[in-house]
Structure formats: structure tokens, C-alpha cells
Amino acid sequence: MAKSGGVPKRGVVWAPGTEKELRGYSKRVRTVIGRAIEVAQWGQTDTHAKAMKAPLREVFDIVVDGDKVTYRAVYYTTKNVDGPVAVLDIFIKKSTSGIATPKPILDRIKSRLKRIKEIENE
């Protein structure tokens, strides 16, 4: 559970286009995703977030079910305890190939994670 009041310990870094994408979603979806990101800022994991499978096991996936689509947000918590939460991707998953995340999206997440880790290690 996130702490009430005060300023979260971690900031948020948004990958290009992710914040704009989130703004286009319904208030309910924005609230659930925003809450999960805020909980991550406090160093905890929201009930809507779960770790992805290898090789992205350091990345958390926030899932919000909608009508015939699933809204997803993917974030990485940097290793530095004061470092930011990096929102790597936000997208709508339409059920075209079961529950698996499409390869182009996984590739984009991997690329963004790699870049965040490079910055983190500078």
C-alpha cells in the first residue's frame, strides 16, 4: 500500500510517447495505471503489477482489463533506491494472438530497458 501524503521517494521518467498515450485512456484506466506507478515510487508493488518473464524479469507489467482490450503499462525500477521509476511502454493489447505480448512491443521494451540501464550505469 502506498503511503498517504508526502512526496514519493522516486521520480518518474517517461519513455517517448508513453505519457501522451496514457492521457488518451479513460479516467478509470489512467487511475489504475497511475496508482500502480505511484506505489512503485514508494518502493512497493501494486496488486495490478506483476514481474514479466525472463529476459524481462526486472520489468513490471501493469494490466487493466477493458472491453475486448487490455491496457498495459510496463515499468522498471532503477537499482538506485533514490533513482526513478522508468515507464518503458504503454499500449493497448488486443487479443489477436492469445495472451502473449507481440514481439515488436517486446523488442521496444527491451531496447528501452537497455537504454535506461546504460544511463543508470553512467
- Percentage, residues of the chain above pLDDT 70: 92
Task: Supply the mean pLDDT for the chain.
Answer: 89
**Sign of torsion over alpha carbons 114, 107, 44, 42:** positive
Determine contact, residues 62/74, Cβ cutoff 8 Å: yes
Q: What average pLDDT score do residues 43-65 get?
A: 94
20 DSSP 8-state letter: H
Q: What dotted CATH number matches 12-120?
A: 3.30.2310.20
User: What's the whole-model pTM score?
Assistant: 0.88
Question: What pLDDT digit, counting tens, does each position of 81-108 carry?
Answer: 888 999 999 999 876 556 778 889 999 9
pLDDT at 72 over 90: yes
Locate the domains of the chain by residue range. Answer: 12-120
Nearest to 42 by CA among 89, 74, 81: 81
